[in-house]
Chain A
Amino acid sequence: MAEATANGLGQHALHAAHEAPSTGIIHAEVHQEHPIKLYLVVWAWLFILSTCSYLVDYFGLHGYLRWSLILIFMILKAGLIVAVFMHMAWERLALAYAIILPPILVLVFVTMMLFEADYTLLTRLAFFGAGP
């Protein structure tokens, strides 16, 4: 239980359920059990972070400050949901990497489309002029 014991979130954080037939080939599957308080704390944090990102809009912040704050709050919220609510923090590393790595590679696609969109805008401005 390398991942299970490393989290330090309560003694009975995980317990292996021996529901699978013990043929030796099929492993006992791990069930997620954590104290309710953990979920309530994460819930409260998600509320705080959502309020913060709403306030960014409410106070009308602009430019890089706005975008960086939006991104920071977004990443923190997404991280909390995936790590605690979806229990990814306690899953085996092989699963975590298999699921989390591919979406990060979408950033390559984002970069490609940034260039493409800028080029489209350039040609539109060149042929149609600035806004109607």
Chain B
Amino acid sequence: MAETLTHIGQTEPRPAGWKGIAADWSSDQRAFKNVSWGKAMMWIFLLSDTFIFGCFLLSYMTARISTRVPWPNPSEVFALRIGGSDIPLILIAIMTFVLISSSGTMAMAVNFGYRRDRRKTAILMLLTAALGATFVGMQAFEWTKLITEGVRPWGNPWGAAQFGSCFFMITGFHGTHVTIGVIFLIIVARKVWRGDYDTGRRGFFTSRTGRYENVEIMGLYWHFVDLVWVFIFAFFYLW
């Protein structure tokens, strides 16, 4: 696709590098030439979501720097007692592995989707959804544990009061994203299983026919959820 469109719809050879970007953007037609509108819109949504999570992590950083009271040590707060000894952050580590695994199965589901392997695609998507649900379940366990230990948005037994509000805000929003992702994974998996993208059956909500690219677009959202967790894991749990 090393070409660009002019305003009258003719194709011209596209220059390389920055000149190519300028040529694409200034062509007055369609900036993302070989990207479908569905995929481009998902990317733009994810960009806006990046800003939302970026602002959460920023406000967390600001709160943590500006408090005079020592910040609770996440390594100890999130430790679990297994076999008589405290293992630091073990639940969070397991949650990380579960989410990464779900990203792996999702990537393979996208692959099998383009190969028109309906069975494998649907099974891998349902596996992804199951791993996502496991993640949310573990997060619910973590919330319950912290709430029974006395963590509230306005205070906690170990240090700076802002810890609770940051924790519930950031992980709560992320957990909501995972939950919504699980629901949509199940919906798309059902469509794949039924062969909607082969028969051209129209969606119940949009009344439009779908394509196997929908699996990839769904995958973009899911990988994004994983991506956000990478940053939360680094900045909130490990820092």
Chain A: residues with CB nearer than 8 A to chain B?
Answer: 1-4, 16, 19, 24-25, 27-34, 36, 39-40, 42-43, 46-47, 50, 53-54, 56-58, 60, 66-67, 70-71, 73-74, 77-78, 81-82, 84-87, 91-95, 97-99, 102-103, 106, 109-110, 113-114, 116-118, 120-121, 124-125, 128, 130-132
Asked if A70 meets B239 with Cβ closer than 8 Å, knowing A25-B29, A54-B96, A92-B33, the reply is yes
B207: CB under 8 A from chain A?
no
User: Could you tell me if B234 and A74 are in contact, using CB atoms closer than 8 angstroms?
Assistant: yes
Most chain B CB inside 10 Å of its own CB: which residue of A32, A121, A128:
A32
Q: Of B168-176, B177-185, B222-230, which binds chain A?
A: B222-230
* Cα separation A129 to B63 with both chains bound (whole Å): 17
User: Could you tell me if B62 and A116 are in contact, using CB atoms closer than 8 angstroms?
Assistant: yes
User: Could you tell me if A50 and B1 are in contact, using CB atoms closer than 8 angstroms?
Assistant: no
Give the Cβ gap from B215 to chain A, nearest Cβ, in Å.
11
User: Can you name 9 A-B residue pairings with CB atoms under 8 Å?
Assistant: A32-B114, A39-B111, A82-B227, A92-B34, A94-B25, A99-B47, A110-B58, A121-B65, A132-B69
User: Could you tell me if A93 and B21 are in contact, using CB atoms closer than 8 angstroms?
Assistant: yes
Number of chain B interface residues as a range: 35 or more
Give the Cβ gap from A84 to chain B, nearest Cβ, in Å.
8
Give the Cβ gap from B239 to chain A, nearest Cβ, in Å.
7
* Cα separation A117 to B234 with both chains bound (whole Å): 20
* Cα separation A34 to B54 with both chains bound (whole Å): 31
* Cα separation A24 to B35 with both chains bound (whole Å): 15
Asked if A28 meets B34 with Cβ closer than 8 Å, knowing A46-B103, A93-B21, the reply is yes
Which B27-50 residues sit within 8 Å CB-CB of chain A? Answer: 29-36, 40, 43-44, 46-47, 50
CB neighbours of A73 from chain B (8 A) = 234
For A46, give its contact among B35, B63, B65, B100 (CB under 8 Å): B100
* Cα separation A1 to B220 with both chains bound (whole Å): 22
User: Could you tell me if A81 and B234 are in contact, using CB atoms closer than 8 angstroms?
Assistant: no
Asked if A131 meets B35 with Cβ closer than 8 Å, knowing A36-B111, A39-B104, A57-B238, the reply is no
* Cα separation A15 to B57 with both chains bound (whole Å): 39
User: Could you tell me if A70 and B234 are in contact, using CB atoms closer than 8 angstroms?
Assistant: yes
Give the Cβ gap from B107 to chain A, nearest Cβ, in Å.
4
User: Could you tell me if A27 and B34 are in contact, using CB atoms closer than 8 angstroms?
Assistant: yes
* Cα separation A86 to B216 with both chains bound (whole Å): 8
Which B64-100 residues sit within 8 Å CB-CB of chain A? Answer: 65-70, 75, 88-89, 93, 96-97, 100
